[in-house]
C-alpha cells in the first residue's frame, strides 16, 4: 500500500501526559490490552484515560486529544493538519467527501443498580423534545413539546432511582458537548476546507438509530455546525426491526457467535482475574445476577454515567460508608476495555462476529466510498449518529491496533481527497477521534481510496440472510 506521508491530524504527539508518561495519542492504544494482566495490574490505573466531567460542559480532555470517556476528542481547527502529501506539496488535492460517524454524546446510565441508586439524577436542566407536525409550512406546526420525567407518590412501583431522568437520556453536558463538537467540525470541514456547505443542502445527509440519545445528539451537534439555520432537517432512520445499526435486524448468529466467544479460555481468564472485584461489587450493590456478573458492561456503564455527569461513584444503600472506590472503578474500566478489544479484535470468531453485527452497515459505507471513487457520488457530507456497538465493529474491521471502549461521542471521519496523482486520483484518510487511525494495515493517514475499500470489504457479508441462519 503506498504511503506518501506520515502526518497526523493532531499536533500534540510530543506532549506526554505529565504523570504517567503516555502521550495523548498513546492513551488510545494500551500496548498490553490483549492480556488479562492488563485488567489486574492496578498500577496501570486508567492508562492515561479520563473518566470524569462536571455536570455542565463543554468538556474536553487535557491535553486535548487524550482518550476521554466523557467526551472523546474530535477534529478541531486548533490541531488539524492536512495530510502530509498535500502539506509537503507531493500532490495537489482537495477534500471531496466526508463520512462522519459518531457515538451519541454523554448521558445518564442504561443500567440502574439492582439494589437501588444512592443518589438522584437530575435532568430538569435538559429538554428532550418530541413533537410531530405536517411536512409543509402551511400545515399544522406543533408546539415544541418536551419530555418531563416525574414520579407520582401513588405509584407503588419504585424505579430504584430518584430524580428527573429517563435511563438512558442525554444530559445537559451531552447537549453542550455536542454543540461544541459541531462548532469544531464546522471550523475544520466548513470554514477551513470548504466541504460542509453554509446551509444544509441535497448533498448533505444525516442518519441516526431509533434511539432518542442519537437523535438528541444530532440536534445539538448540527446546531453547532449551522448555528443560524432556520427550519427542520430529515434525520434518516431505517425501520427499527431491520435497522443495520444498533443491532436492529434479528439474526440468531449474533447471539450464537457471542456465546461461543464468551466460552473461550481467554474469556474465562478475564472472569477469573476479576472474581474478587465482581464479588465485592455484587454484594455491595445488590448486583449478583448474571447480567451484572457475566460481563463488565453494566458496572462500567453505571460508573461511567455517574463520573461523566458530575456525580460520585455509588455506595451501598444499606451502608453509606461502603462505596465503590476509584481503584475499583479503574479495574472495571480496564476490564471493559479488555472486553471491547476482545469482541472486535482478538476473539477467534472476530470476522464472522463483525460481519453478522455490522456487515450491512459497513457495506453501506463501502458503497458510498465506491460511488466517490467512481465519480458518481450524490453526497459530500454524511453524518451518522450511532452507538458504541456500531463504532467498535467498524474500528475492528479497519484493524485498529488496540480498541478501548469507544467512548462518548467517539468519532470516525472518513475523508476522501481528490488529487492530481495520475495513478490514483482519490486518496482516503481515516481519523479516529481526531487521530489518524493506527491499524494492522499501517496508519490510515493517506492511502488510495481503493485500498481502504479493500480493507473493509471482507467484512461485508455476501449473504447476510443465510449467514444469520
Ligand X SMILES: *[C@@H]1O[C@H](CO)[C@@H](O)[C@H](O)[C@H]1NC(C)=O
Q: In the complex, which residues of this chain contact ligand X (CB under 6 A)?
A: 34, 37, 41, 43-44, 116-117, 160-162, 266, 319, 321-322, 346
Q: How far is the CB of 416 from ligand X (least distance, A)?
A: 29
Q: How far is the CB of 341 from ligand X (least distance, A)?
A: 9
53, 173 contact by CB (below 8 A):
yes
CB nearer to ligand X: pick between 162 and 256 = 162
User: What angle separates helix 172-185 from helix 212-225, to the nearest 10 degrees?
Assistant: 40
Q: How far is the CB of 342 from ligand X (least distance, A)?
A: 8
CB nearer to ligand X: pick between 37 and 145 = 37
Q: How far is the CB of 162 from ligand X (least distance, A)?
A: 4
Q: How far is the CB of 41 from ligand X (least distance, A)?
A: 4
342, 33 contact by CB (below 8 A):
no
CB nearer to ligand X: pick between 191 and 312 = 312
Q: How far is the CB of 315 from ligand X (least distance, A)?
A: 9
> Which residues, listed in sequence order, are joined to residue 99 by a DSSP beta bridge?
382, 414
Q: How far is the CB of 266 from ligand X (least distance, A)?
A: 5
Q: How far is the CB of 160 from ligand X (least distance, A)?
A: 6
**What is the Cα–Cα distance from 92 to 112, expressed in whole angstroms?**
54
Q: How far is the CB of 152 from ligand X (least distance, A)?
A: 12
CB nearer to ligand X: pick between 266 and 451 = 266
CB nearer to ligand X: pick between 30 and 219 = 30
Q: How far is the CB of 334 from ligand X (least distance, A)?
A: 11
CB nearer to ligand X: pick between 41 and 56 = 41
**Could you tell me how many residues make up the chain?**
469
CB nearer to ligand X: pick between 56 and 439 = 439
CB nearer to ligand X: pick between 28 and 186 = 28
The 3 state secondary structure assigned to the chain is CCCCCCCCCCCCCCCECCCCCCECHHHHCCCCCCCCHHHHCHHHCCCCCECCCCCCCCCCCCCCCCCECCCCCCCCCCCCCCCHHHHCCCCCEEEEEEEEEEECCCECCCCCCCCCCCCCECCCCCCCECCCCCCCCCCCCCCCCECCCCCCCCCCCCCCCCECCCCCCECHHHHHHHHHHHHHHHHHHHHHCCCCCCCCCCCEEEEECCCHHHHHHHHHHHHHHCCCCCCCCCCECCCHHHCCCCCCCCCHHHHHHHHHHCCCHHHHHHHHCCHHHHHHHHHHHCCCCHHHHCCCHHHHHHHHHHHCCCCCCCECCCCCCCECCHHHHHHHHHHHHHHHHHHHHHCCCHHHHHHHHHHHHHHHHHHHHHHHHCCCCCCCEEEEEECHHHHHHHHHHHCECCCCCCCCCCEEEEEEEEECCCCCCEEEEEEECCEECEECCEECCCEEHHHHHHHHHHHCCCCHHHHHC
CB nearer to ligand X: pick between 52 and 322 = 322
CB nearer to ligand X: pick between 320 and 378 = 320
Amino acid at each position: 500500500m503506498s504511503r506518501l506521508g506520515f502526518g497526523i491530524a493532531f499536533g500534540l504527539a510530543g506532549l506526554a501526559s505529565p504523570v504517567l508518561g503516555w502521550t495523548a495519542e498513546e492513551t488510545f492504544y494500551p500496548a498490553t490490552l490483549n492480556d488479562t494482566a492488563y485488567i489486574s495490574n492496578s498500577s496501570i490505573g486508567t492508562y492515561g484515560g479520563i473518566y470524569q466531567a462536571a455536570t455542565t460542559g463543554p468538556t474536553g480532555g487535557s491535553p486535548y486529544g487524550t482518550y476521554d470517556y466523557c467526551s472523546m476528542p474530535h477534529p478541531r481547527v486548533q490541531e488539524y493538519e492536512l495530510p502530509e502529501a498535500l502539506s509537503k506539496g507531493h500532490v495537489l488535492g482537495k477534500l471531496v467527501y466526508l463520512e462522519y460517524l459518531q457515538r451519541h454524546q454523554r448521558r445518564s446510565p442504561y443500567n440502574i443498580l439492582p439494589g437501588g441508586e444512592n443518589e438522584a439524577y437530575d435532568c430538569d436542566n435538559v429538554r428532550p423534545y418530541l413533537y410531530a407536525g405536517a411536512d409543509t409550512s402551511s400545515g399544522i406546526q406543533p408546539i415544541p413539546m418536551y419530555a418531563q420525567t416525574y414520579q407520582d407518590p401513588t405509584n407503588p412501583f419504585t424505579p430504584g432511582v430518584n430524580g428527573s431522568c429517563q435511563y438512558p437520556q442525554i444530559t445537559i453536558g451531552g447537549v453542550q458537548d455536542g454543540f461544541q463538537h459541531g462548532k469544531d467540525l464546522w471550523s475544520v470541514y466548513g470554514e477551513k476546507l470548504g466541504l460542509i456547505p453554509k446551509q444544509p443542502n441535497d448533498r448533505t445527509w444525516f442518519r441516526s438509530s431509533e434511539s432518542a440519545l442519537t437523535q438528541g445528539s444530532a440536534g445539538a451537534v448540527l446546531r453547532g455546525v449551522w448555528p443560524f439555520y432556520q427550519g427542520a432537517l430529515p434525520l434518516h432512520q431505517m425501520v427499527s426491526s431491520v435497522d443495520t445499526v444498533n443491532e436492529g435486524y434479528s439474526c440468531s448468529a449474533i447471539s450464537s457467535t457471542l456465546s461461543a466467544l464468551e466460552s473461550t479460555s481467554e474469556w474465562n481468564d478475564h472472569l477469573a482475574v476479576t472474581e474478587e472485584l465482581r464479588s465485592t461489587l455484587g454484594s455491595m450493590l445488590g448486583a449478583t445476577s448474571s447480567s451484572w456478573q457475566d460481563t463488565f458492561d453494566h458496572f462500567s456503564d453505571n460508573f461511567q454515567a455517574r463520573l461523566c455527569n458530575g456525580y460520585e461513584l455509588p455506595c451501598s444503600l444499606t451502608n453509606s460508608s461502603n462505596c465503590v472506590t476509584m481503584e475499583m472503578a479503574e479495574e472495571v474500566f480496564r476490564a471493559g476495555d479488555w472486553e471491547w478489544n476482545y469482541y472486535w479484535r482478538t476473539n477467534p470468531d472476530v470476522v464472522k462476529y463483525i460481519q453478522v453485527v455490522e456487515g450491512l452497515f459497513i457495506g453501506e459505507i463501502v458503497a458510498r466510498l465506491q460511488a466517490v471513487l467512481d465519480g458518481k457520488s450524490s453526497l459530500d457530507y454524511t453524518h451518522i449518529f450511532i452507538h458504541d456497538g456500531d463504532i467498535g465493529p467498524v474500528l475492528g474491521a479497519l484493524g485498529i491496533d488496540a480498541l478501548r471502549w469507544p467512548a462518548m461521542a467517539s468519532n470516525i471521519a472518513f475523508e476522501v481527497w481528490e488529487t492530481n496523482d495520475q495513478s490514483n486520483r482519490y486518496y482516503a484518510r481515516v481519523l479516529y477521534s481526531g487521530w489518524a487511525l493506527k491499524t494492522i494495515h499501517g496508519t490510515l493517514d493517506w492511502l488510495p481510496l481503493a485500498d481502504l475499500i479493500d480493507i473493509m470489504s471482507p467484512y461485508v457479508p455476501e449473504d447476510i440472510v443465510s449467514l444469520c441462519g
